[in-house]
Structure formats: C-alpha cells, structure tokens
Structure 1
Amino acid sequence: MEFRHLRYFLVLAEELHFGRAARRLSISQPPLSLNIQQLEASVGAKLFIRSSREVRLTAAGQAFVPKARALLEQAQEAGRHARDAEQGLVGRLHIGFVGAMLYRGLPQMLRQFQAQHPLLRVLLRELNSQDQLIELSHERLDLGFVHTTRVPPDLSRILVARQPFVCCLPTTHPLAKKRKLALRQLQGEPFAMVARAVSPDYHEAILSLCTEAGFHPEIRYELRHWLSVVSLVSQGLGVALVPEALRQSGLAGTAFVPLDSETTPYDTYCLWKTARDNAALSSFLDAVRAAAV
C-alpha cells in the first residue's frame, strides 16, 4: 500500500465516478483503475462496486475512508514536521549555563528566541564550566555558556560577555560603603570562592589578582555556585571577588564595591561542537551572536 493509493481511493470515494476522479487527479482512467485494484489487493477486500451505470463504496470501502484519511493526514503532518526540523523550527535544544548567566542576558535571550521559535523546546541545565565541557564532549548538551578559555579543539566559541570583578562584602563590613577600594585592603579577610575543581580559571584569576596586590587570600569557604558565594557573604561570614553581574542578584545583606584598578576581565563564552549539524542550534547561535559583546 502506498500513499498514492490512499489519495486515489479518497478522491474516487468522493466522486464515485472514474472519469471525474481521474480529471481531479490529472491522470487517465486506466492508471486510476490499476491503482484501485492494487489497493484492494493490498487491503484484502473489495472497496468499490463497479457497474456500467454507477460506482459505489462497499461496506469495507466505507469503513476504510476515515482510516485512509487519517493516514494521509499523519503523513502530511510528518512531512511538515520534517521540513520544520530542517529549518530549525521544531525539536529540542539542550543548553548548559553557569549561574552568572542568569544576570548576563540569558533570560532575555531565551524569551526573544522562544517568541520567534515557539515549537522549539529549550531545556536548561545549570552546570559549572568543567561539567559542561564533559557534557558537550558526549553530546548531551547542544551548547553551553562557560567561564573558561580551556576549550578542546573540537569546540567552537563565541565571546558572549566581558565584565570586571568587584568586591562582594557584607553590608556590615567597614569597607562596604566605599565607592572604590584597593584589593590589598581585603588582606587577612576570610574569602569565599567557587572551588578550583568547579572553576579552575576563576580560582586562578582570584589568586593571581591577590598575589599582584601583595597577599595570598585566606580561602575559608569553597563552594559550587556563585549565588552560594554571595549568599554566604550576605550572612557576614566572609568576603569575595565576584563578576560584576552578581550585583543584580538582589540578595539582602550584600554590598558590591568596585576595585580602584582594572583587572583581567571575567569572560563568558558560548561553546558548541563544531561538527554538529543542527538547524535549531544554528538558529540559537544567531541569537547568541546578536546579543554578544
């Protein structure tokens, strides 16, 4: 049974006349008769009663009409779905992100993208940079937003955001009301940081900045997420250097004070496997490029 057979059958079932049905199908009567015979042989039942005066549906033919119509509609829907997938209009995108991206334009990017691609399902996973590299390598993520320059050669990248570090202090801290401060003023303070295993680039950047300022930070707390760092600071348990975007976290009890000198910027990259052939991914990357620095 072929979809052509179903289409010919439905037109003949509506017209109940071989001549009119053939004209609608833009074919001659002999091919139409042959296709109906092939369909009846495939179904194993006679679908039409033919005489010199009329063409009528048999009971089997009447029962077959709704099923044939449903099969054709499903085939047409499958075709539309395939075309939409080829154009990146449907499907799923698995996106990883570091928590700071919630304050660096990711929600706005997602809202705009979903408005333009309502049939695409975007699935988000908050993961640190190292875990995202693993997931990207195993193709369990389509793309990720990371804070690392240690990128395997099979991944492509876009610089999405660049921001300075700022000091995160409890509002009760004597330096909290300063307009700016020198990093060396935090010497001897208990530091909260994202753990080296979670974000080695960040960890090394903080150590390097403190070394340049003339001291080694007293790392008292090592955490997995930026918001955990800010939350701990808000409880008065320590200080931290964090990306400027964390100002928007809105956690009570925290103050964010700029440094009095420029530091190495904290960069965010969008990564994806270069070899991935995915129209939905390409569409999302267009949105990333439009929003990137």
Structure 2
Amino acid sequence: MEQRDAQTFLTLAEELHFGRTAERLHVSTAQVSKAVKKLERQVGAPLFHRSSRKVTLTPIGERLRDDILPGYELIQGGFARAIAAGRNVNSTLGVGFVGAAAGRFMMEVAKKFQDRYPDCEVRIKESQFSDGVELLRRDEVDVLFVALPVIEADLTVGPVLARETLVLAVSARHPFAGRTAISFQDLARTTLLRSPEALPGYWDESLVPRQSAGAGPIVRGPAFETTEEMLALVGAGKGTYPVPAQAAQFYARPDVVYVPIHDALPFEWALVWRNTGETAHVRAFGQEARALAGLPENDPM
C-alpha cells in the first residue's frame, strides 16, 4: 500500500464522506473514488458500503483501519519530528569545546545565538583533550569547537574561526625558559610529551612531526590525557609541549613558561559536526560563530 493510498483510505474512514475527504486532501472526488477502488482490488473485497445517503466501513475495512492506523500515525509523527529538527530552530543544541579560551568563545556565541533564538536552549559541555571528537560520535553534543586538523569521513569541518601563534610550554627550569623565542628546529633539542593515544595519528603528526627539518628526530616523552596532566608533566621537567598562545593567559603556572615558536604554523580552530547532524540550529549557531569571528556572511559553512 502506497502512503498516498493509505492516507486516502484513513481519511475516508474518518470522514465517511467522499466530498469532505476530497476537500481535506485537496483532490477531486473522482481521485478519492479511484484510490479506494484500487485498494479494494488489491484486498479482493469491498472496504466501504456506499449508498446515496451514507458511507460506512465494511468489517474488512474496519479491520484494515485498525491494523494500519497506529503504524501510519507513527510514521507521520516521526516525519514531522524530523522536519522540526531539520528546519526549525527550537528545542536543545549541545555545544562542546576543548580548553578555557574555546569555552569563553563558545559562551559568547551561545549568548548571541540565544538572543536571536530564545526557543532553543544551548547546553555547553567541556570535552577533555583526549576525547578528540568522540563527544560528537557519542551524540553528547551537536557541534564541537576543536583544534584542527580534523580529517574524518563522518564529520564536517566548518571554516577556521580562530588562529593563534604556537608556543612551547616548558619547565621554568628548562634552558629555553629564558629565551624570547625559539625555532621549529629547536624542538629536536628537547623532549616532547606524547599526545593522548586516543587522538588520531595525523593530528599529533601535524603538531609535532617525527623529525624537525634539518635537526634530526624529535625525542618523545611520556603521554598525557588532559591539559592539567600535560602542564604537571611540563612543570616537573618531564617534557615540553606545543600549545596555542592563549595558554599563557588561561593556564598560567609558576613552574611553566610559554616560549613562542616563531616559524611554526598557526594553531587553528573550527566548528565540527556530524555529516548527518546538520540541522537548522547547527547552521544558525555556525552563522553566529562566524559573525563573532568576523568572517564574511557569504563564507560557506
């Protein structure tokens, strides 16, 4: 049974009048009659008793109505909810972030978003460094503000919203601590901590290549899971680690010094969401983030 035929049958079963059924469905009475005859041929028995005065369901028609109505209503309800989620800016939007600066930016975007869309509640959730993009895959958030690169087939990456200078977090007792800047080649002259094992290899390689050009291999120290673990290891002299420049403001510690890497590529941040999760609220939140970041309105999401 096709959906249109089911709709026609159920509407006629409710109205018990061909004219009113045609009006509700915005079709002709002849089309209603044709659809009913088609179903009766498929069933092999009449579904309605017709007379000049009234239309009633046959016992077989009543049974068919009772059997298909719950499923039809379930399908219609599911489709309506999908349309609401895809087109309307309402209900709840989960937003994730990694790091204090990212959290502050997301809070600012969330305020502007809720001023514009008060019917949509924004729930902010911090993601640990070692989580990577898993909050998205676990469906705990709808969109995540995260450091690039993100190269995952099931995820969409928006435009770069922030760029920061890369600095090296070193112990206050480290030989680099007294320098105003270092070069990328200097990374081969120190031990670098290992990124959380859960992060993809391409992300770690983009931040800390296995070799520093012209200076040989880079020695790797112990791994860490969270930002606080990383800073504790750095402060204890167990290794160093490249971080965005905002760390000097948001993660100031007496035992850690942040030294600029003058020739490193910038640290970049973007919004990421599931390919199958691009709803109206995700698009609208992305628009607010782009506006706050000063990107042109016609930049693609």
How big is the shift at 1:86? 6.2
> In structure 1, how many angstroms separate the alpha carbons of the residues matched to 2:129 and 2:287?
22
> In structure 1, how many angstroms separate the alpha carbons of the residues matched to 2:288 and 2:119?
16
> In structure 1, how many angstroms separate the alpha carbons of the residues matched to 2:100 and 2:164?
11
Alignment match, 2:243: 242
> In structure 2, how many angstroms separate the alpha carbons of the residues matched to 1:96 and 1:222?
24
How big is the shift at 1:87? 4.8
Q: Secondary structure at the match of 1:230?
A: helix
> In structure 2, how many angstroms separate the alpha carbons of the residues matched to 1:163 and 1:213?
25
Please give the TM-score of this superposition, normalised by the length of structure 1.
0.59
Unaligned runs of 5+ in 1: 1-81
Residue identity matched to 1:255:
V
> In structure 2, how many angstroms separate the alpha carbons of the residues matched to 1:139 and 1:103?
19
Please give the TM-score of this superposition, normalised by the length of structure 2.
0.57
Number of matched pairs: 210
* Pairing 1:42-61 to 2, within 5 Å after superposition: none
How big is the shift at 1:180? 1.1
Alignment match, 1:51: none
> In structure 2, how many angstroms separate the alpha carbons of the residues matched to 1:277 and 1:256?
38
Moved more, 94-103 or 123-132: 123-132
> In structure 2, how many angstroms separate the alpha carbons of the residues matched to 1:207 and 1:156?
22
Alignment match, 2:273: 272
CA contact (8 A) 1:91 1:280 kept: no
Residue identity matched to 2:281:
A
Q: Secondary structure at the match of 2:217?
A: coil
List, as ranges, runs of 4+ consecutive aligned residues in structure 1 with deviation greater than 6 Å: none
CA contact (8 A) 2:156 2:274 kept: yes
CA contact (8 A) 1:132 1:141 kept: no
Q: Secondary structure at the match of 1:201?
A: helix
How big is the shift at 1:165? 1.9
CA contact (8 A) 2:136 2:142 kept: yes
* Pairing 1:33-72 to 2, within 5 Å after superposition: none
> In structure 2, how many angstroms separate the alpha carbons of the residues matched to 1:256 and 1:154?
32
Deviations 1:156-213, CA, capped at 9 Å, x for gaps: 5222222232111122323212111234444453322322432533310244274225
> In structure 1, how many angstroms separate the alpha carbons of the residues matched to 2:221 and 2:155?
37
How big is the shift at 1:93? 0.9
Describe the shift of the 1:211–1:282 C-alpha distance in structure 2 as closer, same or farther (beyond 3 A): same
Alignment match, 1:282: 283
Residue identity matched to 2:248:
R
How big is the shift at 1:150? 0.5
Residue identity matched to 1:189:
T
CA contact (8 A) 1:179 1:257 kept: yes
CA contact (8 A) 1:171 1:255 kept: yes
CA contact (8 A) 1:167 1:257 kept: yes
Alignment match, 1:95: 95
How big is the shift at 1:270? 0.9
Overall identity of the aligned pairs, in %: 20
CA contact (8 A) 1:194 1:226 kept: no
> In structure 2, how many angstroms separate the alpha carbons of the residues matched to 1:285 and 1:132?
20
Residue identity matched to 1:256:
Y
Alignment match, 1:159: 160
How big is the shift at 1:100? 6.0
Alignment match, 1:144: 144
Alignment match, 1:180: 181
RMSD across aligned C-alpha pairs, in angstroms? Answer: 3.4
Alignment match, 1:198: 199
Residue identity matched to 2:242:
L
Deviations 1:87-129, CA, capped at 9 Å, x for gaps: 52x4111122222653672333234334444443222333368
Alignment match, 1:122: 122
> In structure 2, how many angstroms separate the alpha carbons of the residues matched to 1:183 and 1:156?
27
